[in-house]
Structure 1
């Protein structure tokens, strides 16, 4: 029995995954000399899908001459963007196998050639800041990553000092084999490809659904599914109407849906969107479709939302009716009435909620009644101002009683606003000439619509660039309604 337990313990120990630098040490090196190290990986008995390392070295003592990819992943491998040496003491590399059949892996991940700089004698370490191995299900493998030492000059290396070690999927360094492991996991650098939108710089995974597909046809089906979803999600789920800013896939075999982080997606929303994706996938005979939901911030989106926040907050520093005060900086001589209260907006989510959710719903719900006024020429246009209030332009030549007209129009707008949870919707009524409106507002509407359409096409053709049009123009494109 004792022998059996001992054999089992030895078997389990040998099955533990590991990453190590070989050889464990170099000694007696002089300035100008070169030396090489291998980063070796052993996944034990587990199948290996992906590996990622962040290696640290003393850039004052050593210079990287060359980095060569090893033979750990033999066929069809993706190298993570940004892999390489930063010249400042950090080497980052990520690999992911493209094949759907994964096997245990043992071999060299990368080989590195260093040159010793003209520096003082000493003992230097080459160790891991991060190290991650993933199995076929994209789960972390358990094990350790062990560094090496380099001795420059006639210095004795104390062999009793253990090599610097960290746990796989951890950023916590260990100085002895008895140290406890860390639970701070690091996502591997997988390859991401987008057909709509782009990858946020601070992207992080929220949740994964489904099971990675093994069929060879999955990559083609996935691309077809992505394109179908862009069409289906447009107008409700894609930004700015929705919270989704990117759709694509990653090298781990997941379809990827990215949300704009400040809009704070919840589990119910992810479940709903996954249901739509799963339904479309089942129409293609794909069951349990693998989907990764992630989130992140995008500077272009934030800048434009912040611009709108600043505009509405500047308006809030004054009263809406100041637009009619000829001593106010807001004074506009063509304004004949104001009603309601401007919303208090402090966050990007509140800004998005007002400009692209509530205002859109109000405009949509009142469209039938407002169209009657537009068609008979009483109103010239309605729209949402970038300053946060609705504008209604009344035909100055109309025979209708303007005071009664304003009361009736506001009653319609405020009723629809109340239905979406907004009280005292802010509205500014102006007088305008039909000739001016035809040339001015119509061209503005066409310009905004063209910009939105052109930018959307550009986004699909060039992910990550030019995806989001100016929100002010896009707001006009969504909300502007003109006499036709």
Structure 2
């Protein structure tokens, strides 16, 4: 029997769906189903979709489905079948929440054995897993008779391992039929419209969960993400009034009620009100609750509209939180604000505070203050009342999650892990840098940082972000790090070194994260200067010339 393809090779190429694209569709659909509380997925919480699918073909040789398996603690809990061709219609075709195990290896092996026995002089052309009579799955071996040139097909059912006759299926006899031809016949135009709807839906889910640090291009821990927070990898979500800059926050509790803010003007006015509230309570918080006298380290707000109090990890009790909320609430009521919304959380800190920068005397945050003089304590108090300055950047997307790091040892251990991941992926990122697509790549204190050339077209930029995060995520999983935190920023190349109104981060090695004394000097506007915490496994990797940190992004000199 001669096999006739259902579509031309050109059409197949134009309408084919890659395994990577199919995986994104599978991830997005399941994430949305679970977040919307769809029934049948209760056992999928905590599971992950394997990105390596089984490819299922039609009996005519056309690639039909990608079969993605979902595992929880290494136990199969379900499967998702995604169309391998856009002409099949909606991308996600079937979802199985209860599955039966089968052995593809045995089925493939037997189909080859039968083919060789029946056609000993024949040439094995191909062996594939197929949907031979939907929903039946089996192995199909195509063997070519060397004498006549005819091709013959051998089918073996994957469950029973019985040979299936190559004949049309009827109500009374087992056989085979082409699902592809059945689904595509006279419906190509409509099916393409349906696939495009699926793709649009997938992209909307991708955009929605990206704000929560979820990348649908890599395996994720399946859960109801509807109540998840904005990723703590994105520092720009927070704006601090006074205290130290945090390198990743973990929410403890929220009090009060958010106001309804519909217009940009309302949001701007609300932020101004919170800033005024911060000034009103600053002295009391600093003298009673703030480091070095207490557990509070940072005061500010977030993009959602909460007033924010951040603690260092440690002796934070419910009574302490209640006391601080009462202070804030009472002050807010004097401004005619009821039920002031306040978010309490833990911050991550690594900062060297200048006690006397001219004499080169500094104090690491978190070190004991027992031996400090009264004047030194006063310097700390005043320093904590200042506004931290953070270099502005143009964030493309922030993926992953920064874990709660409880002390300096955990911070440094985590930084070492990120540095190791950065070093292990260096060779795979280098080609992007050589093409000018990536400007800088390295490990910061609590996250990895990838600088994307902002002059690239948006489509190319988005594709590069996905590719690079897949590279980093794959390596991170080898080192037992899931949801690896990566920030993607934008920057540009320049040929001339800009020297006005810039801050130049210092190069650091893996053993030393602290900055030089000069990097801690106070800025002219009274704000604390930000610190560069960039770590690179190879000094200078990711820098095509001199790195300059500007308030609009990055600029570099080409080699």
Q: Please give the TM-score of this superposition, normalised by the length of structure 2.
A: 0.30
Per residue, is there more strand in 1 or in 2?
A: 1
What is the TM-score normalised by the length of structure 1?
0.34
Structure of larger gyration radius: 1
